[in-house]
Structure 1
Amino acid sequence: MSYDELSEVLASENGTRTITAFPDGSVDVYYSAYDVHGDPIEDRAGFAERLLEDPPAFPVTRESTEPGGQAVNTAIQADALGDSVTLFGHLDHPAFEGLGFETRSMGEPSRVAVYPFDEDVLFAERSPELAAWTLGDLRTAAADFEGALEADVVSCGNWVSVTGMTEVLRGLAVESIDGNAFLFDPGAISIRSEGAIHELFSALAGLESTYDVVLSVNGTELAAGAAALGFSGGRRERLSALRSETGISAAVLHAGSAAVAATPEGVVSVPTRPVEEPVRETGAGDRFDAGLAYALARDWDWDLALALGNACAAHYVATARTADRETLRARLRS
């Protein structure tokens, strides 16, 4: 069983690897909302009813302000697992001052209001500097540009928030880089056009000449990507078709029931462990990516890599906290 083996492997793992993450960053403000009687609104349906009222009115309470963003969350989890992390993000805000690893800011972060109902509701104000981000901004921020891009794993995401991200990927493909693994999580690609999705996958295919490219998506993102390429069938079939069409090293699905990896050698699936009382969903997929990055940096077998991603995500969903290796082992033993 993957989880039993994972606990043993985590106990014996001592070495560190290098992880570079970029380019986003957000200040996430968590709110609680209440009805006119002062009772908490606990589900999205109830919140939607309040929005339809004339006028829509509901008291809210600010619960916390936290650093967020795909790259930031991935870096936080990778650091907790014990790897050497460098984060290039949009971090010009005090919320990022307490991060315990190397950071280089490239501008103002986005702002996100999060309402954690039974399913989280997010209201995002995208940073103009993030939207306009280019490979030149990364080059300027990095003391050692090539070294940063030759980390054991380069983790990149939030394609939907960066207007020129596809061109960034094309630019990376022609850099003089001795690349290793490139983990790419595009975010909610369903909000972009099918033509833009085609261009993204074409750029990832080109990047495979420089890196071992691993695409990480959730179920909604897989559906949008498969539809854009005209693929049908079940999740395993669509994931395999997407990987085969692009020629990348692997396409990975992280979903509520299982994590699945499609590789040239076949399809591997590891079921998730259920979380009986979820606390927070926002950021869990990024923790999955960090677990996957940890495994990619060590050339683990895919079943073990998916198990670690699942374990990182599940702990965060259950506790809203980022787990280190010993915390994960305790959870796995229980």
Structure 2
Amino acid sequence: MKQETSAALTALADRVKGAASSVGKTPVVIGFDAFVDESLRIVGERTSPVSFKALPTISDFGAWASASAGRSGSREFVCEEIVAGGCSVNMGDGIASMGFPLNAFSGVGTPANPAFGSFVEKCVSVDPVGMEPGRALVTEFDDGKLMFCSFSHFANFTPEYLKEQMADGRFANACSQAKGIALTSWSVYPYMTDCWRYLMDEALSGISHRPHFFFDLADPASRTKEDMVDLIDTIGGFEKIGRVTLSVNGNEANRLASAVGLNEADETPAELERLSSELRERAGISEFSIHLVKTAVTATASGVAKIDGPYCAKPVRSVGAGDRFNAGFFAGLMLGLEPEERLQLGAASSGFFVRNARSASCQELTCFIRSWAAGEFDDG
């Protein structure tokens, strides 16, 4: 690891440690999705009634599925655990674990599904906004994950529905006190762009303290180009209320680029920097971040920052890693960190998660960053 990178990480660890006392005084709001995730492994070879070797890679699974075309195929799935999921819950868990007071407006069910017990305990409050959680079958592999989701009832989430659910003023009141507001999983809600317009024009119109707004898409593969253009044309409107950041992964960035007529990017640093800058300008927002497994960039009006993260070749859990990156990055915004430091904190939050299958506290993040600075992780 380069000496200057090590020094920068050490300085970041000191800043995070010094800011720990202020975290508990920095309220945050997040919404709106929640999923119950069934984490599955696909059996490659059954070695005994109680043990098996899992199919290691997505390519192995794809080869088996392709070979079954025109015939039939059957594979055993083993459910390893049932856990809380969804971007607002996963990102919120990362934020709340650091100690930020979190008011979550997430569809965990009424009463809350038992899978969300730990998450609910970490939050100041959880309002299910009248929604039951979606369901996700999550197949884990050494090189990634495949998720099969059911959430057709999310189509009921419309501006009219949202207005009814927010009539008591709890959401507006929480946002009026929050330093940061995160809105996630646009892709799984057919009418979320309209809902964001409602929030911008009505529910949040009285806010004057200019909080940070953080937006996440989730995979927009099922959405039309017209939907994505409408999204981009809408999101910049939040700049009149606060400072807007949109965070996406590499695939999501390229889908947005294609929709708005920009050239897609490969994973080279120069291309990622170009695309993040162009998408920021096209959206008319303060910041646009792109994160990949090994690297991340973020573009602001001052330029583009880039970091290489603490790569983990064999993650204990990968589902939710991007949400923990967002949690760390968002925390960096709350703490007033510089763009490169925000990326590093996001990478540390994600890096801790994939190695421990849980979110980190502020103290744990500080220790992790010091270990990263000392070169203890294989950065690929």
TM-score class, shorter: over 0.9
Show the counterpart of 1:184.
215
The answer as to whether partners of 2:328 and 2:342 remain within 8 angstroms in 1 is yes
Letter of the structure 2 residue corresponding to residue 125 of structure 1: S
The answer as to whether partners of 1:88 and 1:138 remain within 8 angstroms in 2 is no
Tell me the alpha carbon deviations over residues 232-273 of structure 1, each in whole angstroms, 9 at most, x when there is no partner. Answer: 261211111111122101101111232211111111112212
Tell me the alpha carbon deviations over residues 286-327 of structure 1, each in whole angstroms, 9 at most, x when there is no partner. Answer: 111111221212222111111101100111122212111111
The alignment status of 1:126 with 2:146, answered yes or no, reads no
> Shift of residue 194 of structure 1?
1.3
Show the counterpart of 2:193.
166
The alignment status of 1:221 with 2:252, answered yes or no, reads yes
Tell me the alpha carbon deviations over residues 44-63 of structure 1, each in whole angstroms, 9 at most, x when there is no partner. Answer: 22223443434311222211
Is the partner of 1:208 in helix, strand or coil?
helix
Letter of the structure 2 residue corresponding to residue 108 of structure 1: E
Change (3 A) 1:306 1:36: closer
Is the partner of 1:276 in helix, strand or coil?
coil
Cα distance in structure 2, aligned partners of 1:136 and 1:96: 27
Tell me the TM-score normalised to structure 2 length.
Answer: 0.83
Tell me the alpha carbon deviations over residues 193-220 of structure 1, each in whole angstroms, 9 at most, x when there is no partner. Answer: 1111110001012221112110001100
Cα distance in structure 1, aligned partners of 2:257 and 2:57: 30
More deviation in 313-322 or 65-74?
Answer: 313-322
> Shift of residue 137 of structure 1?
4.5
The alignment status of 1:47 with 2:61, answered yes or no, reads yes
Change (3 A) 1:95 1:127: farther
The alignment status of 1:65 with 2:82, answered yes or no, reads yes
Query: Aligned ranges for residues 3-22 of structure 1 at < 5 Å?
Result: 3-13=9-19, 14-15=21-22, 16=24, 17-22=26-31
Cα distance in structure 2, aligned partners of 1:219 and 1:55: 34
Show the counterpart of 2:116.
96
Q: 1:294 aligns with which of 331, 335, 340?
A: 331
Tell me the alpha carbon deviations over residues 1-23 of structure 1, each in whole angstroms, 9 at most, x when there is no partner. Answer: 33212211121111121111101
Show the counterpart of 1:258.
295
Cα distance in structure 2, aligned partners of 1:190 and 1:236: 23
Cα distance in structure 1, aligned partners of 2:46 and 2:31: 44
Cα distance in structure 2, aligned partners of 1:206 and 1:8: 36
More deviation in 168-177 or 80-89?
Answer: 168-177
Is the partner of 2:359 in helix, strand or coil?
coil
The alignment status of 1:157 with 2:180, answered yes or no, reads no
What do you get for the CA RMSD once the two structures are aligned? 1.8
Is the partner of 2:215 in helix, strand or coil?
strand
Cα distance in structure 2, aligned partners of 1:207 and 1:186: 16
Q: 2:38 aligns with which of 17, 29, 34?
A: 29
> Shift of residue 35 of structure 1?
3.4
Cα distance in structure 2, aligned partners of 1:236 and 1:35: 40
Cα distance in structure 1, aligned partners of 2:86 and 2:235: 22
The answer as to whether partners of 1:50 and 1:57 remain within 8 angstroms in 2 is no
Ranges in structure 1 where 5+ consecutive residues have no aligned partner: none
Is the partner of 1:97 in helix, strand or coil?
helix
Is the partner of 1:191 in helix, strand or coil?
coil
The answer as to whether partners of 2:45 and 2:54 remain within 8 angstroms in 1 is no
Q: 2:136 aligns with which of 112, 136, 141?
A: 112
Cα distance in structure 1, aligned partners of 2:169 and 2:199: 17
The answer as to whether partners of 1:67 and 1:96 remain within 8 angstroms in 2 is yes
Cα distance in structure 2, aligned partners of 1:137 and 1:23: 13
> Shift of residue 81 of structure 1?
0.7
Cα distance in structure 2, aligned partners of 1:227 and 1:162: 21
Cα distance in structure 2, aligned partners of 1:156 and 1:4: 31
Cα distance in structure 2, aligned partners of 1:149 and 1:85: 11
Ranges in structure 2 where 5+ consecutive residues have no aligned partner: 48-52, 266-270, 372-380
The alignment status of 1:269 with 2:277, answered yes or no, reads no
User: Percent of pairs identical after alignment?
Assistant: 27
* Equivalent residues, number: 333
Query: Aligned ranges for residues 192-207 of structure 1 at < 5 Å?
Result: 192-207=223-238
More deviation in 217-226 or 173-182?
Answer: 173-182
Tell me the TM-score normalised to structure 1 length.
Answer: 0.94
Change (3 A) 1:244 1:61: same
Query: Aligned ranges for residues 76-91 of structure 1 at < 5 Å?
Result: 76-91=93-108
Cα distance in structure 1, aligned partners of 2:239 and 2:41: 44
